[in-house]
Amino acid sequence: MSVVKRTFDAVIVGAGGAGLRAALQLSEAGMKTAVLTKVFPTRSHTVAAQGGVAASLGNSTEDNWHWHMYDTVKGSDWLGDQDAIEFMCRKANEVVVELEHYGMPFDRTDNGKIYQRPFGGHSQNYGQSPVSRSCAAADRTGHAMLHALYQRNVRANTQFFVEWMALDLIRDGDGNVLGVTALEMETGEVCIFHCKATIFATGGAGRIYHSSTNAFINTGDGVGMAARAGIPLEDMEFWQFHPTGVAGAGVLITEGVRGEGGILRNGSGERFMERYAPNLKDLASRDVVSRAMTTEINEGRGCGPDKDYVLLDITHLAPETIMKRLPGIHEIAMQFAGVDPIKEPIPVVPTCHYQMGGIPTNYKGQVVVPKDGNPNTPVVGFYAAGECACASVHGANRLGTNSLLDLLVFGKSAGETVVEDFTSGNLSLRPLPADAADVSLARLARLESQTNGESVFDVGLEMRRTMQKHAGVFRFDALLKEGVARIKDVAERAKTTEIKDKSKVWNTARIEALELDNLIEVARATIVSAEARKESRGAHVRDDAPDTAEFPNGRNDGEWLKHTLWYSDGDRLDYKPVNLKPMNDDTKPIVLAKRTY
Amino acid sequence: MMINRGRLRWQCRRALLELDLVFKRFLERDFDQLDDQQLVALEELLRLEDHDLWAIVNGSKPSRDGREGAIVALLRAP
């Protein structure tokens, strides 16, 4: 197959919030910038973000970045790097005001300032009382943000390659990154994008789980590409789950349903939350509810033929209340669970929502790897931002509204670093190796010639089910160990998947096979890292690491206050220290403490 | 005008899971039976922003015309 080569100053993979924010920085600085994206930019998954973006503007209640930093470090269960967190919280006002100037239609106060509302985990005065820190545009914050950024990029002449899928990262013999190979869906042609700087902004990989709130495009393409190219993945054991996704579908049932009186019941109809949280019952915090649900299912008290879900019951509420206070829930239950919630309870399971780990970066957006004794050596020419990256600001658990902030701050920061490196002459167009496209071409040729293989769907389903059962929201040593073996087996099977449709153009089956390669890397990273971490921290909660006096919340700082690094080659694990030191000498570190709310 | 079915199939990948799930069922069950007129209606529907598209599919907003309504009925059918 002939391979066309295109040359740019920079290529950005992904056109969600992080990719668009980074692209803007480059294009406005006059760099020749290509953005590759599987779907039209304003159809990226950032659209689904509703909650808002955190910034300590103090428009509604007194606020400052120190308090935001404290909340974020505590939320991360102290696994977040304090230099990156300080950077993000200090930059928040700047990136939000910038967005306002780009035309983002934020909700307003009566006197015209950006309206701010409270959000879980955000506080005033180091945890004392709730604060209004979230800036939103009705319930379409992510959507409005993407539109503002996209329009601005069009103005800045960013060149978009829409309906292109990046395939593999290109590195030279010294490990420098020289660009990517990519497939144009309309023609089926493979092309090399040769450039001085490559930024990954490909989002998360929530589709590794059977129950996931993520759209189908969230297949961790950048994370998978990085792993295949020898870049380690950081803290991949940490995934945020929501307790109530519709079983089998993943669509979220908002917490408001339990707020209005919804009750969780097990297979025998018992209101089981009374046993786990006698006071708050069904309104206990997300992690408590998720763990209780998992325990019921694992101990055989689930519902349905496979006893693999529990029920969310609102049949005791007046139909008018349901239709008035919970609009949308009726439709979601009818569409995705096939039940009328006025008459029947809704099947629900804890559902994967957000990937805290990813491609390791520093706060400048540079991808960093261990080299010559320095655990954070930048990889020349390689940058990452947003959910695919691990800066690490979310650590073991992300606070709501910090994800939109993450993609704005680190999208911009990665862009600024590239522009600095570009203008100072630190970046050059390094020669392409002769075999630059060989890995990608071999992957495509394998799919072309494969016979007697399993379907991509079947192998993908096995991966999703295994991850859900063995590395879900509540983790058990024996299940994790068995899960590692199973995922390794699934990974082997993924090497011989077969697609029946061999057509060249608009071949969705081929795209899905290539996406599965990326998901498999993420699934392996997740379960191997989770099995190895023998403590509970943030979203990683093990049954054999309970809350004790010696290890509050099951957290073991003596042994496990460190970042995991997983290498695809041989499933090798390495670790690096958490940065407990803020960026500036005069910023006080947030000292280790038990995470309680 | 020829509409490429493969392109439309790919463009049924959306930003919201709700739509992905609805389109998955539609692609498996209805898509191959669509005639050219219906493909045109689908193409127009797919140009909508995802929140607007979901509002039409979930019935909180009306379809814009009869042709679109017919596609939406297929999308909504259990």
Q: Write down the domain spans for chain B.
A: 21-76
Sheet holding A129-135, edge to edge: A53-54, A129-135, A116-124
pLDDT at residue A1, as a whole number:
55
pLDDT at residue A518, as a whole number:
98
Does the pLDDT at position B21 exceed 60? Answer: yes
Helices assigned H by DSSP within A76-215: 82-101, 141-155
Does the pLDDT at position B1 exceed 70? Answer: no
How many of the other CB atoms lie within 10 Å of CB of A478? 10
Place A328 in a pLDDT band, splitting at 50, 70 and 90. Answer: confident
pLDDT tens readout for residues A104-113: 999 999 999 9
Residues in chain A: 597
Task: Report ipTM (2 d.p.).
Answer: 0.97
Q: In b/e form, how buried is each residue of A347-376, taking b as 16+ CB within 10 angstroms?
A: bbbbbbbbbbbbbbbbbbbbbbbbeeeebb
pLDDT tens readout for residues A583-592: 999 999 999 9
Strand ranges in A539-595 using DSSP code E only, listed in sequence order: 562-567, 572-577
Give the span between the Cα atoms of A194 and A436, in whole angstroms.
Answer: 10
DSSP character for A537? B
| Separation in Å, CA A589 to CA A266, A526, A580, A586, A596 | 44, 29, 7, 9, 18
| CB A538, CB A563: distance < 8 Å | no
CB-CB neighbors (< 8 A) of B51 in chain A: 47, 140, 143
Region A402-421 average pLDDT: 98
How many of the other CB atoms lie within 10 Å of CB of A549? 5
Binary contact (B21, A251; C-beta < 8 A): yes
Does the pLDDT at position B2 exceed 80? Answer: no
pLDDT at residue A324, as a whole number:
83
Is A286 part of the annotated catalytic residue set? yes
Which DSSP string corresponds to A285-341?
A: -HHHHHHHHHHHHHTT--BTTTT-BEEEE-TTS-HHHHHHHSTTHHHHIIIII---T
User: Among A280-294, A343-357, A407-421, which is the least confidently predicted range?
Assistant: A280-294
Most confident range (mean pLDDT) of A277-286, A324-333, A336-345 is: A336-345
pLDDT tens readout for residues A207-250: 999 999 999 999 999 999 999 999 999 999 999 999 999 999 99
Binary contact (B6, A38; C-beta < 8 A): no
Cα distance from A12 to chain B (closest Cα, Å)?
Answer: 19
Place B53 in a pLDDT band, splitting at 50, 70 and 90. Answer: very high
pLDDT at residue A326, as a whole number:
82
Does the pLDDT at position A327 exceed 80? Answer: no
Helix (H, G, I), strand (E, B) or coil at A376: strand
Give the span between the Cα atoms of A173 and A75, in whole angstroms.
Answer: 40
pLDDT at residue A549, as a whole number:
96
Region A454-483 average pLDDT: 96
Per annotation, catalytic residue among A152, A286, A510, A555: A286
Phi, psi of A263 (to 5 degrees): -125, 135
Give the span between the Cα atoms of A19 and A277, in whole angstroms.
Answer: 42
Cα within 13 Å of Cα(A469), Cβ side: 19
pLDDT at residue A323, as a whole number:
85
Region A93-122 average pLDDT: 94
Residue A4's identity, in one-letter code, is V
Give the span between the Cα atoms of A238 and A526, in whole angstroms.
Answer: 8
DSSP character for A225? H
Which positions ≥6 away from A206 have C-beta within 8 Å?
A: A212, A213, A214, A218, A239, A352, A353, A354, A355
pLDDT at residue A322, as a whole number:
86
Q: Find which of A40, A43, A330 to mutate to test the B interface (most B CBs within 10 Å of its CB).
A: A43
The first and second tokens of residue B70, run together, are: 């017919």
Region A58-79 average pLDDT: 96
Region A421-450 average pLDDT: 95
Burial class (CB in 10 A: 0-12, 13-18, 19+), B66: exposed
Give the span between the Cα atoms of A124 and A139, in whole angstroms.
Answer: 24
CB-CB neighbors (< 8 A) of A249 in chain B: 17, 21
* Chain A residues within 8 Å of chain B (Cβ atoms): 38-39, 42-48, 140, 143, 163, 185-186, 212-217, 249-251, 327-328, 331-332, 335-336, 338, 503, 505-508, 511
pLDDT at residue A385, as a whole number:
98
Per the prediction, chain A carries an average pLDDT of 95
pLDDT at residue A285, as a whole number:
80
CB-CB neighbors (< 8 A) of B20 in chain A: 215-216
pLDDT tens readout for residues A471-511: 999 999 999 999 999 999 999 999 999 999 999 999 999 99
pLDDT at residue A279, as a whole number:
86
Question: In 3D, which of A530, A28, A498 has the Cα closest to residue A241?
Answer: A530
Omega cis (within 30) before A392: yes
Does the pLDDT at position A305 exceed 80? Answer: yes
- What residues form DSSP beta bridges with A310? A348
CB-CB neighbors (< 8 A) of A44 in chain B: 15
| CB A79, CB A235: distance < 8 Å | yes
Question: ∠ CA B28-B31-B34 to the nearest 5 degrees?
Answer: 155
Q: Which helix (H) or strand (E) holds A414?
A: helix A402-423
- What residues form DSSP beta bridges with A164? A184
DSSP character for A280? T
Which positions ≥6 away from A310 have C-beta within 8 Å?
A: A264, A265, A266, A267, A272, A293, A296, A297, A302, A303, A347, A348, A349
The first and second tokens of residue A44, run together, are: 């990226």
Which DSSP string corresponds to A2-66?
A: --EEEEEEEEEE--SHHHHHHHHHHHHTT--EEEEESS-GGGSGGGG--S-EE----SSS---HH
pLDDT tens readout for residues A517-564: 999 999 999 999 999 999 999 999 999 999 999 999 999 999 999 999
How many of the other CB atoms lie within 10 Å of CB of B39? 18
Single pTM value for the model: 0.96
Cα distance from B26 to chain A (closest Cα, Å)?
Answer: 13
Which DSSP string corresponds to B6-71?
A: HHHHHHT--SSHHHHHHHHHHHHHTGGG--HHHHHHHHHHHTS-HHHHHHHHTTSS--SSHHHHHH
Cα distance from A214 to chain B (closest Cα, Å)?
Answer: 6
Question: In 3D, which of A45, A37, A356, A376 has the Cα closest to residue A199?
Answer: A37
Does the pLDDT at position B43 exceed 90? Answer: yes
Percent of chain A with pLDDT over 70: 100
The first and second tokens of residue A496, run together, are: 């011989």
